[in-house]
Structure formats: structure tokens, C-alpha cells
Amino acid sequence: MDAIEVIVTKRDGRALSAEQIAWVVDAYTRGEVADEQMSSLAMAILLNGMEREEIGRWTEAMIRSGSCMDWSGLDRPTTDKHSTGGVGDKITLPLAPLVAACGAYVPQLSGRGLGHTGGTLDKLESIRGWRASLSNDEMLGVLRSAGAVVCAAGDGLAPADKKLYALRDVTGTVESIPLIASSIMSKKIAEGTGALVLDVKVGSGAFMKSVQTARELARTMVDLGTDHGVATIALLTAMDRPLGLAVGNALEVAESVEVLAGGGPSDVVELTVRLAREMLAAAGVSGKDPETALKDGSAMDSWRRMITAQGGDPDAALPKAPETHEVTAPASGVLARLDAYGVGLAAWRLGAGRARKEDAVSFGAGITLHAKPGDTVREGQPLMTLHADDPSRFDRALAALAGAYELGETADPSLLPLVIDRITA
């Protein structure tokens, strides 16, 4: 087989055979197929799409490019959650220990932030001593002792995806739904979890801007999980405004701890509890209800065990940025709109995010929100506080916020409901 034959097949709108897919993914991973050839194939996939069986075979080839994890020796079911990313999306932090407190194991492989969306590992690394990199044996040990583990994926898990993801990023083929779905699901299936809940974000602060494209991605991923024997469901959730009141690494950890202590913003609590119930149901676990676990302290106990087991100090003070700047309401009224992308971009410019994978982040940088859409505000009242290590960052952050919020008589009627839809097999 040769790469040109595979490229031409997809260029002409025909389905790739199982043999073609298995060969080209393996050959690309080994370096036999050149980057320029795979980028041509990726563009053909972007333009012509893939059928359900094709996407399944492509995902299977990505999984087979590396190793798979096996949790069959555990005495409880495993379940996991994946979010497509957003602004203020710290849900994994309270969710993993909450689900563990309710009777399931949660092996969660997470990533770092890039651009305006935050990364779970960056947030957790703001906790003194916490380690993201664990061996498989260490992961198993943390699971057994704490019930949940959140860590970085090892190099052996779907290495084809790591190579192809980097290529898509520089060739304008990131937006292909078959390639997005197979990228996410190859890692999640290789992770070995028995059940999976997908949180597909919709809106300006998300990768998927419209409900229609988010639903298509969710359906594709649910089908992939189902076809590979993983009980999979997806929720479409709002990301047209930030989630919660904190945007930035240590700020989001502090808000997550508030949720685990029985408080926190209502939207974060609502979505955390909803996803926890979905994860437990998908895993077939009917133990303690998540709301009860937040109230009785068992979720907090699980959090402390999880952080401690990965070398972190749950009692250590979180980093704080030394410089702050308040953005105040220019008039009295109702905060009608607060654009998630504008807030995320501002937090990134303050130092909370990175432009390149190798960049460092500021753990204390970010934004604290004092009002959400629908809230009544008075002229001069703080709308948000910007946090940065260097005051020179404020001007560019304020430029990102210009036009990102709007006052009116009522909240914008086009705001999405927090949970938009539920996609099942």
C-alpha cells in the first residue's frame, strides 16, 4: 500500500477501507508516511468527511498505535468525564472526588490549557507539591487509596493521536469532526474506563460555536464509545458566558474547594451534580447521591485524599497574583451579556494561559467575576477583578474585554440554558 492511493481515495470522496486505515495510521506513526502526505489526507477528510464505520476504524487504529490501560482488577466500576474545554470550566476538580465519594473509581487523564481555554493539570499544579505525571502503578495506587486520580496521559497512550494532533494544529484541519472525535475518543477508550460522560461545550468560549455542530460532534463521540463497548453519553452545555465566578488556575482551585465544602456558584454546583449523576448511572453505581456527598463532607474527604496521594498539600495557601485591577460598571442596570471568549482571552493575556505548549503559566493570574448575566448592578460597582503578576498586562487584558460585556434592562434572551441537550446511544 502507498500513501498516494489512500489520499486519492478520500480526495475523491470514497470511504477508506479497514486495511487502508490500519496501514496509513501505523505507517505515519512509524514515520513511513511523511507529514505532508498525512496533512493532505487530513484535509481530504476535513472536506469529504467520514462514515461511521470509517471513523470507528480510524479510532481503533489510533488506539492500537500504543498501549491500553486495564482496570479490571479493581473492585468497583470505573467512570470518567471529558470536557471539550471552556472558560472557567473547573468541573473536573470537584467532580472526580465527588463521584469517588459516591462509590465509583475515576481514572481521569487530563491536559494542559492552550489559548483562551484553561487546562485541568495547570489548575491542579497550583497546589504545592501536586504531581501530574504518574506511572501506571502510581495511578492504580492513587485510585485504590483515594478513589479518583487526575493526571497526565503517558507517551504510550495513542501516540498516533499526539503526532496527528500537532500536524492538524498547523495545517488548518483542526475543525474536522471525524478527526476531533477520534482524537478525543482514542485516548479515552485506551484509558480503559468502563463508562464515559462527555461534556460538549457550546458558545463563544468553546470550540463548538453552534448547537448544531456540537450535537454532531457529541453524536459522533457517543457512537464511537458505544461501538467500542464503553457506555457513553454526552451533555451539551453552555459556554456563551464563563462557568462560575473564577477564571484562572489557583482562582479556579479555590472555587472548586468551595463547591466541595457545600458552597460555590450555583451553575458550577448544578453542572457538577448533574455530571456526577450521569457518570454514576453510566457505570451502574447506585450509592450515595452526589448532593448528599457535597453536604456531608465525604466529597471533601475524597479530594484531600486524592491531592495528598499525588504529593500535594491540600492545606497549603494557593498562589496569589500581587497586582489587581477592578473593572467597574459604567452605568446602573442589568448585566445583559458577558462573553466567555472575551473573558477567556483577557485571562490568557493576564498570564493564566499559554500561547505555545512549552510556555509557563502564572498560577495566580486570572479574573474574579462579581456579576453574572441577569444580575442587577449599580454604576461604579465592581464587575470583575483582574489578577496579574505584572501590571503591564492589564492594558491588553482590558482591550480583550472591550465589548465583552453589556448592560441593559434584562439578560440577553439568546443566552443558552446551562444544559442544552443530552445525547445517548
**Domains of the chain as residue ranges with CATH:** 3-49 (1.20.970.10), 79-315 (3.40.1030.10), 323-408 (3.90.1170.30)
* Cβ-based neighbours of 93, under 8 Å, separated by 6 or more: 120, 123, 124, 150, 252, 253, 256, 303
The residue from 10, 57, 81, 82 that is catalytic is: 82
201 is catalytic: no
What does the pLDDT read at residue 382? Answer: 97
161 counts as catalytic? yes
Distance CA 310, CA 230 (A): 27
Q: Distance between CA 222 and CA 423 in Å, rounded?
A: 7
Cα pseudo-dihedral 334, 339, 342, 346, rounded to 10: 60
Annotated active-site residue in 57, 112, 163, 187: 187
**Cβ count within 10 A of residue 105:** 25
Angle (CA) 128-130-133 rounded to 5° is 145
81 is catalytic: no
Instruction: Say which of 39, 40, 126, 183 is annotated catalytic.
Output: 183
Tell me if residue 385 falls in helix, strand or coil: strand
**Out of 161, 199, 223, 240, which one is annotated catalytic?**
161
- The yes-or-no answer on residue 82 being catalytic is yes
Does residue 103 sit in helix, strand or coil? coil
Mean pLDDT over the full length of the chain: 95
What pLDDT does residue 169 have?
81
Own/partner pairs, 393-402, CB within 8 angstroms, 24+ separation: 393/349, 393/350, 393/351, 393/365, 394/323, 394/325, 394/350, 396/349, 397/346, 397/347, 397/349, 397/350, 398/325, 398/327, 398/346, 400/342, 400/345, 400/346, 400/348, 400/349, 401/327, 401/342, 401/343, 401/346
What grid cell was written down for 196?
464515559
Print pLDDT tens along the chain (425 aa).
899 999 999 999 999 999 999 999 999 999 999 999 999 999 999 999 999 999 999 999 999 999 999 998 999 999 999 999 999 999 999 999 999 999 999 999 998 877 788 899 999 999 999 999 999 999 999 999 999 999 998 878 899 998 998 899 889 898 899 999 999 999 999 999 999 999 999 999 999 999 999 999 999 999 999 999 999 999 999 999 999 999 999 999 999 999 999 999 999 999 999 999 999 999 999 989 999 999 999 999 999 999 999 999 999 999 999 999 999 999 999 999 999 999 999 999 999 988 777 788 999 999 999 999 999 999 999 999 999 999 999 999 999 999 999 999 999 999 999 999 999 99
Return the pLDDT at 176: 93
pLDDT for the residue numbered 287: 82
pTM of this structure: 0.95
Answer whether 239's CB lies under 8 Å from 358's CB: no
Annotated catalytic residue within 168, 241, 274, 387: 168
Q: Do the bridges between strand 366-369 and strand 231-238 make them parallel or antiparallel, or are there none, so unpaired? A: unpaired
**Annotated catalytic residue 75:** no
Residues 6 or more apart in contact with residue 287 via CB below 8 angstroms = 102, 103, 280
Burial class from Cβ neighbours inside 10 Å (0-12, 13-18, 19+) for residue 366 reads: buried
